[in-house]
Amino acid sequence: MSVQSEIQIRRTFAIISHPDAGKTTLTEKFLLYGGAIQVAGAVKSNKIKKSATSDFMEIERQRGISVATSVMSFEYEGVKVNLLDTPGHKDFAEDTYRTLTAVDSVILVIDCVKGVEEQTMRLMEVCRMRKTPVIIFINKMDRDGKDPFDLLDELEEKLKIRVRPLSWPINMGTHFKGVYSLYHKKLNLFRPGSQRVEDDVLIIEDLKDGLLDKQVGERDAKQLREDVELIEGVYHEFDRKPYLDADIAPVFFGSAINNFGVQELLETFIQISPVPQGRETDVRFVDADENKFTGFIFKIHANIDPRHRDRIAFLRVCSGHFERNSFYHHVRLDKNLRFNNPYAFLASSKDVIEEAFPGDVIGLYDTGNFKIGDTLTEGEDMMFRGIPSFSPEIFKELINMDPMKTKQLEKGIQQLTDEGVAQLFIHNNGYKKVVGAVGELQFEVIQYRLENEYGAKCRFQPIHMNKACWMTTTDKKQLDEFIRLKIDYIYFDKDQNPVYMAETGWALNVAIENHPKITFHTTSEFKTASLV
């Protein structure tokens, strides 16, 4: 098949949510419908093999949360679906933000009991900023939660996006009977606690049909008819274009744990979601249907299999045809690399693939060549944009607790910060190492993984820093003088770029005012060519 044909049968999306909204459970149900697993259930269930769940790190299983993006691929109705399950915890939001650069659309999961939460609003801001199409799944309808119409109003008010329901619940809580697909004109009835896909779908194109009363009862049938009439009167008929333009979000209701509403969501997603899209580079826009291969690294993960100490770089294919054992140009290093064993993923299991096309996410075995944001091409020099590191909010000095394991600690902190879970800043020729992160949980994860994956023990000592700022200038002399004056506050990131660690917002403002030829950046996304 041609590149254009392969693009048409691919969908690449991320599932995002506030913690505990049911994101990982929904992921497992998608895998169930795609035939990738046979039985769905909670992450802790013994019925599921470890490789069938999307939370594969030991600390994730202990804490019951996702702290790293998982990548899964499966087929459904002739479409290859690339699904990225992201961390919900706010301390790992940066990993989620970067993941959003690698997808073409998003499914946002909302807890019907709690409604729109703070982290949900932050995630939605990123989607709006990137103009990423969003489908909303209101989960846990088997519990007594907020009124569905109230939830729609809350979504529009807090997420600042117009919504359009494409399915509608029949009751909620203990009286929840199923959902009616407004898009497909189908009534889906499910049994609570079902762990397998149930073929229990009724096509009811006319809600006046008496079959509806027989299936759900006269009272609930009457309520459904009234609700649908109100929906059709208040909301415009669904149009795919505003959804693809990220101006409107289709809404579905259901209960992932009980299989309510999941199939309607997946079927409609396959039909309306965007095919793989092109991406902007620092040189030009790359269209997905171009014949030459391009792609970028958006995630790096060490020790997916602790027994083999492997390090995998996750690459999003942006254009062209990737082939195993072919040489591709690493733009930043200006050298050609060949990949003998590129992988496709189902959570922690992975299989060697021969080829990949736009939209696919593949794993490349990495010996230290890659950093997040790196670009691979068939020779053209360009870098994909929009994959920044942000200035951390918390800074702590890394203290080695076992001098005999210094080499292990050095290797471990280098590899873990390469993954993007935190940032490493070095001062005084390497004698002082400071780790910057968005939240406290990241330090706990790093400490745990250093000990369990690298055999190195450490502790973190808080230091008072307000902001890390990368610096560019048009006047090297002024920058050199600033570094000399502020030597105690000058650190270097892993790429040897100078970083000013401001103790307070006031100190940063003074530095900006007194040094007009130096630009202080709070994200690392700027052209390194402008560094002098």
Average pLDDT of the residues in 141-145: 90
Cβ within 8 Å of residue 346, ≥6 positions away: 31, 36, 51, 52, 72, 73, 74
Q: Are residues 122 and 60 in the same domain?
A: yes
pLDDT digits (tens, 9 = 90+) for 441-480: 789 888 988 998 889 999 999 998 988 999 999 899 999 9
User: Which of 9-18, 51-60, 213-222, 386-395 has maximum average pLDDT?
Assistant: 9-18
Q: State yes or no: pLDDT of 335 exceeds 60.
A: yes
CA 110 to chain centre: 16
The count of structural domains within the chain is 3
Asked if residue 228 is part of any domain, the answer here is yes
The angle subtended at Cα 392 by Cα 452 and Cα 460, nearest 5°, is: 40
Higher pLDDT pick, 299 / 153: 153
- How far apart are the C-alpha atoms of 532 and 527, rounded to whole Å? 11
State the Cα–Cα distance between residues 37 and 43, nearest whole angstrom. Answer: 13
Give the pLDDT score at 47.
Answer: 38
Q: Which residues of 269-292 are buried (b: 16+ CB within 10 A; e: fewer)?
A: beebbbbbbbbebeeeebebbeee
pLDDT of residue 104: 96
Q: Is the pLDDT of residue 65 over 70?
A: no
- Indicate whether 109 and 254 sit together in one domain: yes
Give me the pLDDT at residue 50, please: 38
User: Please, which residues bridge with residue 164 across strands?
Assistant: 250
Quote the pLDDT of residue 259.
78
What's the pLDDT at 90?
55
Residue 531 has pLDDT above 70, yes or no: no
Average pLDDT of span 496-501: 91
Joined together, the tokens standing for residue 446 give 């790093």
- Shared-domain flag, residues 373 and 403: no
Assess whether pLDDT exceeds 70 at residue 79: yes
Give the Cβ contact number of residue 148 at 10 Å: 18
Amino acid at 290: E
Q: Residue 174's pLDDT band (boundaries 50, 70, 90)? A: confident
Q: Which residues, including other chains, have CB under 8 Å from residue 325's CB and lie 6 or more apart?
A: 338, 339, 340
Place of tokens 């933000």: 97
Q: What is the mean pLDDT of the chain?
A: 84
Q: What residues make up the domain containing 145?
A: 3-272
Same domain as 443, residue 303: no
Which of 254, 272, 290 is a domain's end point?
272
Residue 334 shares a structural domain with residue 438 = no
Q: Are residues 37 and 163 in the same domain?
A: yes
Predicted pLDDT of residue 526: 55
Do 41 and 169 lie in one domain? The reply is: yes
Question: Cα dihedral sign for 411, 352, 43, 16?
Answer: positive
Per the CB < 8 A criterion, the answer to whether 472 and 523 are in contact is no
**Could you tell me if 358 and 471 lie in one domain?**
no
Could you tell me which residue, 192 or 126, shows the higher pLDDT?
126
pLDDT at 43 over 60: no
Please report whether residue 346 resides in a domain.
Answer: yes
Q: Which of 377, 403, 424 is the last residue of a domain?
A: 377
> pLDDT band for position 362 (50/70/90)?
very high
Tell me, yes or no, whether 432 and 481 share the same domain: yes
Token pair of 388 as six digits: 């920044």
The whole model's pTM is what? 0.78
Phi and psi based region of residue 358 (left: phi greater than 0; alpha: psi -120 to 50; beta: remaining): beta
CA distance 260 to 501: 50
Distance CA 410, CA 401 (A): 13
Mean pLDDT over residues 383-394, rounded?
77
Q: Is the pLDDT of residue 53 over 90?
A: no
- Specify if 388 maps to a domain: no
Mean of the pLDDT values across residues 79-101? 73
- Model pLDDT, residue 44: 36
Specify whether 185 is located in the same domain as 292: no
Q: Please compute the mean of the pLDDT values over residues 341-348 and round it to a whole number.
A: 72
- Does the structure show a pLDDT above 60 at 212? yes
- Token couple for 297: 């690294």
Mean pLDDT of 169-188: 85
Domain boundary among 237, 272, 307: 272
- List the structure tokens of 382: 């360009």
Residue in 396, 391, 393 with CA at minimum distance from that of residue 447:
396
Is the predicted pLDDT of residue 248 greater than 90, yes or no? yes
Contact 88, 108 (CB under 8 A): no
